[in-house]
């Protein structure tokens, strides 16, 4: 823990609260958006928007389990978007029904 000796305790506490908030925000962004860091992500995003539309893509993106699949099995999703577009609509309906919470 960083402690600035020339500042009073209130300012030190305020600085520590800001540092904690920054750390929490960075970790949360990394957890939610780690699929963006994969090199195949731009290709997958393009294929998904092309095949199901941008509104349905937002539904996919809001699903926690879909994002986890994108992090772990992005190649499977690439294969599916190229060869089995009907399966994307099946997954979309499952998300809407609440099966992909």
Q: Are residues 8 and 44 in the same domain?
A: no
How far is the C-alpha of 13 from the C-alpha of 8, rounded, in Å? 9
How many domains does the chain contain in total?
2
Q: Are residues 77 and 94 in the same domain?
A: yes
* CA contacts within 13 A on the Cβ side of 42: 1
- DSSP secondary structure code for residue 98 in this structure: T
- DSSP secondary structure code for residue 7 in this structure: S
Q: Are residues 70 and 82 in the same domain?
A: yes
pLDDT above 90 covers a percentage of the chain that reads 58
Q: Are residues 58 and 98 in the same domain?
A: yes
pLDDT of res. 33: 74
Backbone angles phi, psi at 96, to 5 degrees: -65, -35
> Does the pLDDT at position 95 exceed 70?
yes
Q: Are residues 93 and 67 in the same domain?
A: yes
Helix (H) or strand (E) holding 40: none
Question: Average of pLDDT values for 26-43?
Answer: 82
Range of the domain at 3: 1-37
Q: Are residues 31 and 43 in the same domain?
A: no
Tell me the two tokens of residue 30: 């990394």
Q: Are residues 69 and 57 in the same domain?
A: yes
Q: Are residues 63 and 98 in the same domain?
A: yes
Q: Are residues 71 and 97 in the same domain?
A: yes
Helix (H) or strand (E) holding 80: helix 74-83
pLDDT of res. 27: 86
């Amino acid at each position: 823990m960083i402690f600035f000796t020339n500042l009073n305790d209130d300012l030190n506490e305020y600085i520590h609260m800001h540092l904690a908030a920054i750390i929490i925000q960075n970790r949360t962004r990394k957890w939610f958006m780690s699929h963006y860091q994969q090199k195949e992500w731009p290709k997958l995003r393009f294929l998904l928007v092309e095949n199901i539309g941008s509104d349905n893509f937002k539904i996919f993106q809001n699903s926690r389990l879909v994002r986890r699949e994108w992090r772990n099995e992005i190649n499977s999703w690439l294969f599916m978007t190229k060869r089995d577009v009907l399966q994307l609509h099946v997954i979309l309906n499952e998300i809407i029904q609440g099966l992909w919470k």
